[in-house]
Structure 1
Amino acid sequence: MKLVQERRTEINGHPIIAFTLANDHGMEITCLNYGCMITSILVPDKNGNYENVVLAFDEFSSYLTNRPYLGTVIGRVAGRIKNSCFELNRKKYKLYENENKNHLHGGKKGFHHVIWQAAGFSKKEEVGVRFLHRSVDGEEGYPGNVDVQVTYTLNNQNELIISYHAISDQDTPLTLTNHTYFNLSGNAQRDILQHELKIKSDRFLPLDHEFIPTGEIKDVAGTPFDLRQGKTLKEVINSTDPQICFVGHGYDHPFVLNAHYEEEIVLFDPKSGRTLVVETDEPGVVVYTGNHLPNGEKMNGVLSRKYLGICLETQALPDAVHHPHFPSCILRAGEVYSSTTKYAFRVSYE
Structure 2
Amino acid sequence: MTDAPTRLDGGSMTIRREPYATLPDGRVVDRWAFGAERAVTAEVLSLGARLQALYAPDRDGQRADVVLGGAGVADMLGEAKYFGATIGRYANRIAGGELPVDGAVHRLLTQANGNTLHGGPEGFDARVWDATEIREPDRVGVRLTLHSPDGDQGFPGGLSLSVTYLLDGAGSLTVAYAATTDAPTVVNLTNHAYFNLAGEGSGSILDHVLQIRADQYTPVDGQLIPYGSHFPVEGTPFDLTEPRKVGERITAGHPQLRLAGGGFDHNWVLRPHPGVGPRPVAVLRHPASGRRLECLTTEPGLQIYTGQLFDGSVTGPGGAAYGAFAGIALETQHFPDSPHHPAHPSTVLHPGEEFRSTTVYRFSVDDS
294-303 or 221-230, larger mean C-alpha shift: 294-303
Distance 2:148 2:222 in 1: 31
Distance 2:60 2:326 in 1: 22
Query: Given the alignment of the two structures, is residue 228 of structure 1 paired with residue 241 of structure 2, yes or no?
Result: yes
Structure 1 residue aligned with 2:97: 84
| Residue identity matched to 1:269 | H
326-335 or 197-206, larger mean C-alpha shift: 326-335
Q: 1:277 is matched with which residue: 294, 299, 319?
A: 294
Q: 1:49 to 1:67 in 2, by over 3 A?
A: closer
Contact 2:70 2:80 in 1 (8 A): no
Query: Given the alignment of the two structures, is residue 324 of structure 1 paired with residue 336 of structure 2, yes or no?
Result: no
Structure 1 residue aligned with 2:328: 310
Quote how far apart the aligned CAs of 1:296 are: 3.6
Percent identity between matched residues is 36
Structure 1 residue aligned with 2:8: none
Query: Which of structure 1's runs of 4+ aligned residues deviate more than 4 A?
Result: none
Q: 2:128 is matched with which residue: 94, 111, 115?
A: 115
Query: Given the alignment of the two structures, is residue 2 of structure 1 paired with residue 14 of structure 2, yes or no?
Result: yes
Contact 1:251 1:287 in 2 (8 A): yes
Distance 2:44 2:247 in 1: 30
Q: Secondary structure at the match of 1:54?
A: coil
Query: Given the alignment of the two structures, is residue 287 of structure 1 paired with residue 300 of structure 2, yes or no?
Result: no
Distance 2:170 2:220 in 1: 37
Distance 2:107 2:56 in 1: 43
Q: 2:200 is matched with which residue: 173, 187, 195?
A: 187
Distance 2:96 2:200 in 1: 38
72-81 or 240-249, larger mean C-alpha shift: 240-249
Q: 1:160 to 1:171 in 2, by over 3 A?
A: same
Distance 2:208 2:121 in 1: 33
Contact 2:307 2:328 in 1 (8 A): yes
Contact 1:200 1:259 in 2 (8 A): no
Contact 2:39 2:169 in 1 (8 A): no
Query: Given the alignment of the two structures, is residue 100 of structure 1 paired with residue 118 of structure 2, yes or no?
Result: no
Query: Given the alignment of the two structures, is residue 346 of structure 1 paired with residue 364 of structure 2, yes or no?
Result: yes
Q: 1:262 to 1:344 in 2, by over 3 A?
A: same
Distance 2:200 2:310 in 1: 17
Contact 2:176 2:357 in 1 (8 A): yes
Distance 2:351 2:157 in 1: 8
Contact 2:197 2:286 in 1 (8 A): yes
Contact 1:204 1:220 in 2 (8 A): yes
Distance 2:103 2:259 in 1: 35
| Residue identity matched to 1:334 | G
Within 5 Å, give how 1:106-145 maps onto structure 2. Answer: 106-145=119-158
Distance 1:146 1:68 in 2: 22
Q: 2:269 is matched with which residue: 256, 276, 295?
A: 256
Quote how far apart the aligned CAs of 1:67 are: 4.6
Quote how far apart the aligned CAs of 1:24 are: 6.0
Quote how far apart the aligned CAs of 1:249 are: 1.1
- Residues matched between the structures, number: 350
Quote how far apart the aligned CAs of 1:262 are: 4.0
Q: When the two structures are superposed, what TM-score results if normalisation uses the length of structure 2? A: 0.93
Quote how far apart the aligned CAs of 1:51 are: 0.5
Contact 1:162 1:342 in 2 (8 A): yes
Contact 1:68 1:293 in 2 (8 A): no
Quote how far apart the aligned CAs of 1:259 are: 4.7
Alpha carbon RMSD of aligned pairs, Å? 1.2
Quote how far apart the aligned CAs of 1:204 are: 0.4
Distance 1:259 1:346 in 2: 25
Query: Given the alignment of the two structures, is residue 40 of structure 1 paired with residue 53 of structure 2, yes or no?
Result: yes
Distance 2:170 2:73 in 1: 30
Q: Secondary structure at the match of 2:241?
A: coil
Quote how far apart the aligned CAs of 1:123 are: 2.4
| Structure 2, unpaired ranges of 5+ | 1-12
Q: Secondary structure at the match of 1:277?
A: strand
Quote how far apart the aligned CAs of 1:99 are: 2.1
Within 5 Å, give how 1:131-170 maps onto structure 2. Answer: 131-170=144-183
Distance 1:165 1:110 in 2: 17
Contact 1:41 1:54 in 2 (8 A): yes
Contact 2:279 2:298 in 1 (8 A): no
87-96 or 155-164, larger mean C-alpha shift: 87-96
Q: 1:262 to 1:282 in 2, by over 3 A?
A: closer
Quote how far apart the aligned CAs of 1:181 are: 0.1
Structure 2 residue aligned with 1:298: 315
| Residue identity matched to 1:153 | L
